[in-house]
Chain A
Amino acid sequence: MRYLPSSPVEDRALLDTIGVPNAEALLAGIPEPLRLRRELDLPPTGSEQEVFGQMLDLANTNTRFCAQFLGAGAYDHYVPSAIDALCSRQEWFTAYTPYQPEISQGTLQHIFEYQTLICDLTGLEVTNASLYDGGTSCVEAALMAVRVQKKRHTVLVSRGLHPLYRQVLETNFAPHDGLKLVEVGLKDGVTDMADLQAKLNDDVAAVMVGYPNFLGAAEDLTALAGPIHAAGALLVSVTQEAFAFGWFEAPGKAGADMACGEAMSLGNKPNFGGPFLGFLAVKDAHKREIPGRVVGQTKDLEGRTGYVLTLTAREQHIRRDKATSNICSNQGLVALRANIFMQLAGPEGLRGLAEQNAAKAQYLRARLLELPDMEAVPEVPFFNEFVLRYKGDYAALQEACLKEKMLPGLDLGRFYPEYKGCILWCATELHTRQTIESLVEILARVPATV
């Protein structure tokens, strides 16, 4: 087996030094009856050529689309070549969590820079080395809000949050008898202010709002912050499309106390949903309650600037059952991709990409609305996703698109019965005018259903 370096002669020498006749003799500590008395019923060793062939077959079995008009939490953006090239350096991708700072300054300085940039994007003061994904970042944010807001046990969740994130929240809140998740409804595509006000009380620790929300709409964080703060609750913004940070105001500057969500858009492909990049940024006052790894700047013995993992008294390896979270491994390499992406883009690149995304989505929307079966829903400021009502049959539309290797927008009825017949469309900088025109042509040919 090519990954196992010892030769038979070397093996013999190792066993002789240990003083056992064979490797099996070293299994003495495993009681006989608990051992597997047969070989694993699995195929034998595969050569690189054979395995590559098998995996390539699987990859090729997926349909390759020429354009995807689907976002819904996984966005297709262009990934600069420098990212793959840099991340394939073994010093980055094979290294462990930087427990030994003297030989991990690369990773540590990168995380410090990454933390700086996530704070910049969100307009907040403290963040960590990353969380798993958007859904679990909501869980960590909600649990943190409850810790910070002692004696408050309810978290209000806007129905505009990604429906799968809400499911992850529900799963993780279920075991906590004392804690409650309460949904706040939508009105005209954004959080219903009247419903919110009716549900705010002195048990509410935080309110979580999509920014932009799942329907693509910009929630007015500033307007929401008023009543939320008046009720003593924290406003948590949840962003599933990080490119929106180049278009809409930083949540921390618009009234949010915490910002969490998904940053896969910064340098990653959709990858069937993972590995993605969860983030959570908070105010300085709350830094000792943040979950996960945090890197800080310090000096070495000779006074030279360097970086270390810090505030570890919050973490599982020190505090065990009193830790702020159980998280240990996070999404380090994905955070590196995001860091490189942000540094390549710079302020002008990020703003420019955001403008292009907004322009493409607006153009797509305008062109789709020229089709007789597409209807506007009340328009709210959106970024690169928007909802249209479709009078035709979604299945027929989907079939027509797929036949032409185009992935259409999401059938919203799947998650929102009240939006049955509506489609969530997405366009990014990758969509040329030509692909948008092709989509419109395909849709124009879909037979009307009676």
Chain B
Amino acid sequence: MSLLGRIAPQLIALAALVALVSFFFPGFLSISYHDGRLVGPVIDVLKRGAPVALLAIGMTLVIATRGIDLSVGTVMAICGAVAASAIAGGLGVGPALLLALGAGALAGLWNGVLVAVVGIQPFVATLILMTMGRGIAQLITEGRILTFTDAGFAFFGSGMMLGLPVPAWMWLIAGLGTALLMRLSALGLLIEAIGINRRASALSGVNATVLLIAVYVASGLCAALAGIVVTADIRGADANNAGLWLELDAILAVVIGGNSLLGGRFSVTASLLGAMIIQTIDTGVLLAGFPPEYNLVIKAGLVLIILVLQSPRIAAEWRVWRETQRAPPPDRTRTEGGA
């Protein structure tokens, strides 16, 4: 019930967007069933939105601690390069996945230690890895695009399970698991406490340092999953372009999800809806038949509208305005003064 209330703005925005896209492209909501798989634009959105959705899960937790993780896009490239070179080197799918996840966790650990132990601002701390990361990925791939033909690994990018694409399952399961873990245990509460006031939470007995590191490791793991999806999808690791600027989309997804960049209360579900809103815009612009060069301008416009509607100040002014309309004239000055 309370969850529904929390994600209502995102659901309304998504519904409005879907209606808008359907107006230009009537078949947007149609889903058909072929050879054991669901086919349709919506399924495509679920699949293509997977990398940003996966990144948004970890990013939500990081932002809830009043941090930010700019490195996730390059961590994707590193993990993709690690996985591809492991596959190309003759290791099986299992070891390749473990190595990629290990690389992601290591990257997260690096960020977490810089933020929590050394005490560098999250923006700069993760900017370091963001700058270096592509260089590291290129060292791993030796500057080439590493390709492979392993069908088992490609399953994670283009496979199907119970009618849905595997990437869609990955973010759904990871998102649900994280949301449940956060809300059924006290973890979510503790993370919010750190985001609101790290010192106060530490004084009241929360092990803020360990939790902060854990949050960045979680973000690294999510980036590793996203990197695996992208690498498996194109069956190759591209150190230059894998995950390029996806960190910005992930942050945008979290903000569209109504989470404050100043930390505190968060909702993983709302962030995932934010990721789907972004992907619906991307896919919708193409389906509606606009030339691709209009994509960014339309995206910027829609994002701006969503942000204006969500702005705390606009909401407050709107409330004041409504109250002044309702209140009888003599009370007017008092209402304005009170606001």
Same complex for A and B? Answer: no
Interface set of B (CB-CB < 8 Å, partner A)? none
